[in-house]
Structure 1
Amino acid sequence: MDAVDLAFTSALEQARLIRQKEISPLELVQVYLERIQRLDRRLGSYVTVAAESAIADAQAKTEALVNTAVDELPPFYGVPISIKDLNMVAGLPCTFGLRVLKQRIATQDDGIVKRIKQAGFIILGKTATSEMGTLPYTEPKGFPPARNPWHLDYTPGGSSGGAAAATAAGLSPVAQGSDGGGSIRGPAFCCGLVGIKPSRGRISFAPLGDRLNGIATNGPLARNVADAAALLDVMSGYVPGDPYWLPEPEPSFLAATERPPHPLKIAFSTGMPPIGEADAVCQQAVLDTAHLLEQLGHHVEPGCPTGTEKLEKPFTTVFQAVLNEAGVPEIFLEKMNRWFSIRARFCSCGKYLRAVDQMQIIAREIVSFFDAVDVLLLPTYLHSTIRVGEWVNLRPAKNFRKIVEWIAPCPPFNATGQPAIAIPTGFDPNGLPVGVQLVGRPAAEATLISLAAQIEAAQPWSQHRPAFARE
């Protein structure tokens, strides 16, 4: 197996190769670090490469492997991973996409980073995010823009754009991301990956609090469903004091990939009314997937929750409040975030609480749609991927409207806390990936993962590699 093939080998298979001692953690880390050094100057997926600590960890794991029984190894022993630059890794910078924080070094690990380390992963570095994680493209001031490995003129999405670009380009086998309005699912759509936004309470925010009233969650990005499911198993779990929690999955999410779903009732929509229909390419992705699901024995019919448009105002009120509360001087913010922060200044405590209340009431209406269906099939985004810098010169209000009209199918399910999974389905005329998302009932990740694995088996995807990544 050559270095390129090894870089694109699934994380689960890499773990098996290490257990069988067919490859060492050190050899594997060196493959990725060489690729990052050679390719990432054009891709911009990493903001910090932790080469020294990654090699030291890999060396220690390689030496320990000699005297350690295979059944004593954690599930991803020696497998590399990347961490989004919104999450703390002790000893590494955590900038939140702000150039003013480039020299700030984290003194502790986030809870999910601890879980990732306990699972045996080796951290390659921190991946690029949009400033404060607020935008669906990854072009923060003071950093190179992250680019899409399928076509470098286009964005990998945001805010987990660096995570998605690195995984799609074979600069990491899997990645940790986060999703507060589509920030895992959107980059998965742009880069041809599997991205899971888990249910509210599935993954802890410990040791920090949840500042977004349950809108945001961490989650996995991977090149196939099994890797994403296995990483979700690693990341999941209650920590005492969490404001929301769910029981441990039984069996595991990885096991769900091996268990075909029973015939499901699936609704589908090619748009997000009343905002509008998806473009022709994204519509066709939904229609083709609906047809495939019928062939697989599921009952598929048109349908979509109503009232999602009523979420925009309260959702935005809650979302932008975090920017204002963070206390970053507006001079250090790019213009969209400055606009959000200024708007938030005029929001009273009462208005904020009314927005939270309104969002929860609307969310109840949306979730009630799932009383009659198991899964909802939607476009991930309403049109294909945009170019790097395409919206940078727009006035903030117009930019915001463009964003809403692109990402509309994603934020409603952050508001409801339901699980959703984005999967790739094909390419647009520019050679960029497109895909769909599947939304499930609350806490029903296993159903979505099982269904996504069934779709993946019927139309495999992970054999596709960007030409850029084959260099």
Structure 2
Amino acid sequence: MNKIDLAFTPALELAKLIRVREVSPLELVEVYLERIERLNPQLGSYFTVTADLAVTDAIAKTELLTTTSELPPFFGVPISIKDLNVVAGVTCTYGNPALLNNIPNYDDGVVTRIKQAGFIILGKTATPELGSFPYTEPVGFTPARNPWNLEYTPGGSSGGAASSVAAGLSAIAQGSDGGGSIRGPAACCGLVGIKPARGRVTKAPVGDRLGGIAVNGPIARTVADAAAMLDVISGYFTGDPYWLPDPQPSFLASTQVKLENLNIAFSTNIFPFGEADANCQQGVIKTIQLLAQFGHQITEKSPDLSNLIEPFKIVWQAGVAAAGIPSEALQPLNRWLLAKSGSVAEYLQALAQMQIVSRQIIAFFDTVDVLVLPVYLHSPIPVGAWADLSPEETFAKIVHWVSPCPVANATGLPAIALPVGFDSNGLPLSVQLIGKPAAESTLISLAAQLEAANPWIEYRPAFATIS
């Protein structure tokens, strides 16, 4: 297998190749590091590349292959970590250049699980400052770009994570999602992104400042890769404020489960924002047509999301204040959000209101198994498209663009973004599946069914396939 094919091989297949000694962890790490050195200056996928640590880990794992056959599921497979998550001994900037010397001495719980699964960490991927925006252009860093077309954004806030996987600069990626930050980049870059249910993946060892709206999850090339990674990062850590039991069967096994006919609702209209653009509508309609062919029961309807908007905004704004970064060190939009953040009482009132509305939305799923929505309301924007707008204008555009996503964050429901084709600009086209509480397994089974009928893995960005 040539080096380009290796770089685009799904993570589970790479793990198998390592197990049968067809490729070593060191050979794989060298393939990805060479690609990062060559392509990252244009893509801006990584803030920090941990080449020395990755090579040292790969050498140790390659030697271990000669002494043991009992290996964790992703032994020797390279992965990237989003720069909102902490890796011991590695710079964590949160997208703010003032934190370039911030080197934590501990791992986030999700990173601990990733290491236990045998992954090798290649570096920290680009994120907008504090993960606040759905594009990845933080001041002081190279903007992250979409490998399908370098003029466009890979989305945000897991923009670098998605860009790294789509361009073959990592086999799989860890991301996080507080308002669409896994699903949006996965959609922009033609990948599978899972926003897990609340309590599925730990926030250890830190606390949860945002009422459970943000969660860690996988970004991958295939449904099986994403499901298998979700298996290894899921589970309780001591002191987690909420948690879910492990699924039976595993999430990976769910990719092979044949579903009974489901009740599936869909909409291309997010009230009060209106209809998705023609591209995003096309993704939903194409998916619904496939689901109808599979025998699922289809109804055009969606819950009322209008009362969710204002309390969600208040909770989101509070996240900027909770970061504890002085206003003068923040970028203009985050500085504006900080100035708008209210009192503790206003935050708690908004959180309570968001939970009340969430109960009403979750009741919609009493008679619906899956809701199909666009991921965003329009196609990816060019890099820098909103750079000259005022903070207020930019925030209004952000809220409109990502409006199909926050419902899953506010309610804690699981959701998946899945590629379904290309839009009129030649960029990936995606769709979002939202499930019942804690029902990732159903979403994964359904996504695997769609993936089998419309395989995506054969597509690669031309930019990333030149040796």
TM-score (norm 1): 0.98
Q: Which residue of 2 aligns with 1:215?
A: 213
Alpha-carbon deviation of 1:250?
1.0
Q: How does 1:304-453 map to 2 (within 5 A)?
A: 304-306=302-304, 308-344=305-341, 347-453=342-448
Cα contact 2:209–2:322 (8 A) shared by 1: no
Residue identity opposite 1:284 in structure 2: Q
SS for the counterpart of 2:194 is strand
Out of 94, 110, 114, the position equivalent to 2:108 is 110
TM-score (norm 2): 0.99
Alpha-carbon deviation of 1:320?
1.1
Residue identity opposite 2:151 in structure 1: D
Q: Which residue of 2 aligns with 1:120?
A: 118
Q: Which residue of 2 aligns with 1:284?
A: 282
Mapped partners of 2:463, 2:285: distance in 1? 30
Mapped partners of 1:316, 1:429: distance in 2? 32
Residue identity opposite 1:322 in structure 2: G
SS for the counterpart of 1:167 is helix
Q: How does 1:147-158 map to 2 (within 5 A)?
A: 147-158=145-156
Q: Which residue of 1 aligns with 2:229?
A: 231
Mapped partners of 2:106, 2:183: distance in 1? 28
Mapped partners of 1:192, 1:260: distance in 2? 25
Q: Which residue of 2 aligns with 1:55?
A: 55
Q: Which residue of 2 aligns with 1:21?
A: 21
SS for the counterpart of 2:417 is strand
Residue identity opposite 1:470 in structure 2: T
Mapped partners of 2:440, 2:269: distance in 1? 23
SS for the counterpart of 2:395 is helix
Alpha-carbon deviation of 1:274?
2.1
Q: Which residue of 1 aligns with 2:85?
A: 87
Out of 132, 136, 139, the position equivalent to 1:138 is 136
Cα contact 2:176–2:214 (8 A) shared by 1: yes
Mapped partners of 1:325, 1:18: distance in 2? 43
Alpha-carbon deviation of 1:140?
0.5
Mapped partners of 1:327, 1:457: distance in 2? 46
Q: Which residue of 2 aligns with 1:96?
A: 94
Q: Which stretches in structure 1 are left out of the alignment for 5+ residues?
A: none
How many residue pairs end up in the alignment? 466
Q: Cα deviations across residues 57-113 of structure 1 (Å, max 9, x unaligned)?
A: 0000001110112xx100000000000000010110000000000111111110010
SS for the counterpart of 1:468 is helix
Mapped partners of 1:132, 1:349: distance in 2? 20
Residue identity opposite 2:63 in structure 1: E
Residue identity opposite 2:191 in structure 1: L
Q: Cα deviations across residues 150-176 of structure 1 (Å, max 9, x unaligned)?
A: 000000000000000000000001000
SS for the counterpart of 2:94 is coil
SS for the counterpart of 1:77 is coil
| RMSD, aligned CA | 0.7
Alpha-carbon deviation of 1:311?
1.4
Mapped partners of 1:325, 1:281: distance in 2? 37
Alpha-carbon deviation of 1:331?
1.4
Q: Which residue of 2 aligns with 1:260?
A: 258
Alpha-carbon deviation of 1:352?
1.4
Residue identity opposite 1:416 in structure 2: T
Mapped partners of 1:271, 1:425: distance in 2? 19
Structure 1 runs (4+) greater than 6 angstroms displaced: none
Q: Cα deviations across residues 164-214 of structure 1 (Å, max 9, x unaligned)?
A: 000000000100000000000000110000000000000010101111100
Alpha-carbon deviation of 1:413?
1.1
Q: Which residue of 2 aligns with 1:181?
A: 179
